Amino acid sequence: MIPIALTIAGSDPSGGAGIQADLKTFHQFGVYGTSVLTLVTVQNTVGVSRVEVLAADLVAEQLEAVLSDVPPRAAKTGALGSVEIIEAVAARAAEFSFPLVVDPVMISKHGVPLLSEPARAALVGKLLPHAFLLTPNLHEAFAICGIESRDQRGVEDAARAIAALGPQAVLVKGGHLAGKAPAGDAESAGEAPETATDTLFWKGQMHHFSSPRIRTKHTHGTGCTLSAAITACLAQGMGLIEAVETAKRFITRAIETNPGIGTGYGPVNHMVSL
């Protein structure tokens, strides 16, 4: 049977991020995508003008409808919007028999907050303990653990600190961190001097995944797309290391070949060949 993956996230009507990006990515990986909508945004590549969070009971009912009929092999969360939604998802996630990837979406590409302080606390205290993998960027990692990651050592310290909060694995995305890949890493061999390095802490070990840094403003939805790609790979039965490696290659090519859509921060290329 075709593998199924579930996304629990918000809507981006311009199609570059959120549920739209997740479903496009699932499809590109040959995975059947299901979805639970948490919030609706009014946005495009230029900015976000409105965010409406759905009622928690409606989110819970959507989730139950999917799980009871088309259970996934892996799932991910994106923007969750409120304390009540986080609590509802966390309560159900405690019973998941499949891996859950949590992308802790806290702020939009345009700087609009998507998670309040109480909701952030609920995310950390109630959802993280049920996560197989957490995928924060540097700003989100700092907000979660209080360790500001200005260099590679700081990134690794943050990954360890976040793992202590409950998730089985933590992938800190290093797209905003300047510099070379860690010396001696096999992944860094033969690369250009300036790289974007993502750091995975899993089972007590650090793993680094590096790629050349791409100079472009068209990076809308990169976090959603990367976490969706990892989720799709897990749904296909890949191990975590292979899933992250594959997703990293996909997002790098998707950024490199971005279609230049919109007048602001455009989306990546979700149709890039695997």
Active centre residues (catalytic): 173, 219, 221-224
Residue 25 CA to its chain's centroid (Å): 12
Of 248, 254, 247, nearest in space to 271 by CA: 254
- Per-residue DSSP letters for 78-136? ----SHHHHHHHHHHHTT-SS-EEE----B-TTS-B-S-HHHHHHIIIIIGGG-SEE--
CA distance 125 to 43: 30
Contact 66, 6 (CB under 8 A): yes
Which residue stretches of the chain are H helix? Answer: 18-28, 56-69, 83-93, 117-122, 138-145, 152-163, 222-235, 240-256
Contact 54, 39 (CB under 8 A): yes
Contact 135, 168 (CB under 8 A): no
Q: Is 65 helix (H, G, I), strand (E, B) or coil?
A: helix
Contact 230, 214 (CB under 8 A): no
Residue 77: both structure tokens together:
């969360």
